[in-house]
Chains A and B, each alone.
Chain A
Amino acid sequence: QVQLQESGPGLVKPSETLSLTCTVSGGSISSGNYFWTWIRQPAGKGLEWIGRLHIRERTDYNPSLKSRVTISGDTSKNQFSLKLSSVTAADTAVYYCARDGYHSGSYLDYWGQGTLVTVSS
């Protein structure tokens, strides 16, 4: 059973960088069959796809966030990470990591429980 767990600071100051880590168990981020993805959800609102990492090939980012986002992986720890720079209150959200398939019509089949990040001074 694949499990994902987000971790990181729950409070970030405006203009600083949000940093989160997703630890994967029961599966390997080195697998060529998956993308490892970040999604966020502001309170009471819908889901926004942030971006994804294929450890052997590439990263893909949402153009709306691309200038501020970096997703990277650490195969030795079986983790992948999100960095979002120059945050504002609009970046306050629950952040989820998830696994996406590497095929046409792929889907997010395993999700972390989510972690709330609040941007406030």
Chain B
Amino acid sequence: DIQMTQSPSSLSASIGDRVTITCRASQSISDYLTWYQQKPRKAPEILIYTASSLQSGVPSRFSGSGSGTDFTLTISNLQPEDFATYYCQQSHSLPRTFGQGTKLEIK
């Protein structure tokens, strides 16, 4: 299985800040990397697919980059609704695997 490792596991930030979350794959996955946002007691929602493509309806303050094994999710100008847990997921190989999550909290 491809292991997905996110860092940090948790992060405190303030409204208006810019934050970056990193996801590393245990082997190359090309750009087959998706980012999801999950709020408490809700299903995850897709933010970014194929590493850098913004899902329709997602605010442009979210951006993704990377290829191969190293990827980043950047959120600019943090808004109150952005405080949530973020997961990366690879779709290069089966079984699909997720990172362990990064919890973004208000400072």
Contacts and interface: CB of A to CB of B under 8 A. Distances in A.
Interface residues of B, number: 26
A63 B98 contact: no
A109 B99 CA distance: 17
A108 B44 contact: yes
A96 interface: yes
Interface residues of A, number: 23
11 contacts: A46-B99, A46-B101, A47-B44, A47-B101, A49-B95, A49-B96, A62-B95, A63-B1, A104-B32, A105-B49, A108-B46
Contact of B46 (A96, A105, A107): A107
Interface in A81-107: 96, 98, 100, 104-107
Interface of B: 1, 30-32, 34, 36, 42-46, 49-50, 55, 87, 89, 91-92, 94-101
A16 interface: no
B98 A111 contact: no
Contacts of B55: 109
A48 interface: yes
